[in-house]
Amino acid sequence: MAKDKAYKVLANQLDISNKKAKDLIDRGLVFVGDRQVKIARAELDEQTKFRVEYPKDIEILFEDENLIAINKPAQIDSYDIEQVLEGARLLHRLDRDTSGVLLFGKNEQFISKAIGEFRAMRVVKEYVAWVDGVFYEEMIIDEPIHTIKKNKAYSMVDPVRGKKAITIVKPSEVQGKKSKVEVEIKTGRTHQIRVHLAHIGFPIVGDEFYGSPTKAKRMLLHAKSIKLLGYEFEAPEPKDIQRYK
């Protein structure tokens, strides 16, 4: 059975360039069945049937002279959105796989104030996620997080080198051995929710990077709402967050 590199098989199947095919795989948009193709140079059967899932159109929740609130789809980078919003600057970021409310500032005075609110930990950010395991009791996770930034950022609980990080987790519902939880973060460390949930033994479904044993089309984490400088925004839960299966 003939094999070739995944990006070459995809390029041939879609009649696109090798470069375009590799980019689609690197962006996490290519699937075989329900499994994401993660390594562009992996050897695959030339008869492999791929499926490309392009991100949905970006939905603007609100816009005025100070900011733009976006309902970010999963599988698109926060900085890619910034590039297409002329004159807007990213105020915070969400991981590529995370959906939900994302804010952009439109003038320097507001941007400065907003950055000050984030640094002072006065921004209220609420998330919803599906996790592995049966979660039934509210928890406050107060564990310092240290981040190593090389080719890909990796964070860990580290009492010595870590910076203060507080996450509040509340149970919402249970389906089999998976639980839906509501999460509020008091700080904004890199991968904070992912690291804290994995640390207490409840990794986010699909977050294989931090130990989830469950394969999924994406990490099931959604930024549900945010409150900042008198503004309050909420992004509706996408279907994969509303119900696990």
What's the pLDDT tens digit per position in 159-190? 999 999 999 999 999 999 999 999 999 888 99
In this structure, the answer to whether residues 170 and 216 fall within a common structural domain is: yes
Mean of the per-residue pLDDT values for the chain? 91
> Residue 175 CB: number of other CB atoms within 10 A?
12
Mean pLDDT value across residues 139-163: 93
Strands of 51-52's sheet in order across: 35-36, 30-32, 51-52
Q: Are 42 and 144 within one domain?
A: no
Helix pair angle (18-26, 6-14), 10° resolution: 120
The confidence score (pLDDT) of residue 85 equals 80
Shared domain check, 63 and 48: no
Please check whether residues 206 and 134 belong to one and the same domain.
Answer: yes
- 207 catalytic residue (yes or no): no
SS3 at position 182: strand
194 and 122 in a common domain = yes
Task: Reduce the DSSP state of residue 23 to 3 states and report it.
Answer: helix
User: In this predicted model, what pLDDT tens digit does every residue of 77-92 receive, in sequence order?
Assistant: 888 788 778 789 999 9
The predicted model gives 30-47 an average pLDDT of 85
Cβ(60)–Cβ(85) below 8 Å: no
Q: Which of 52, 69, 93 is the last residue of a domain?
A: 52
> Given 4, 95, 132, 142, which residue is catalytic?
95
The residue range of the domain holding 46 is 3-52
What pLDDT band is residue 14 in, cutting at 50, 70 and 90? confident
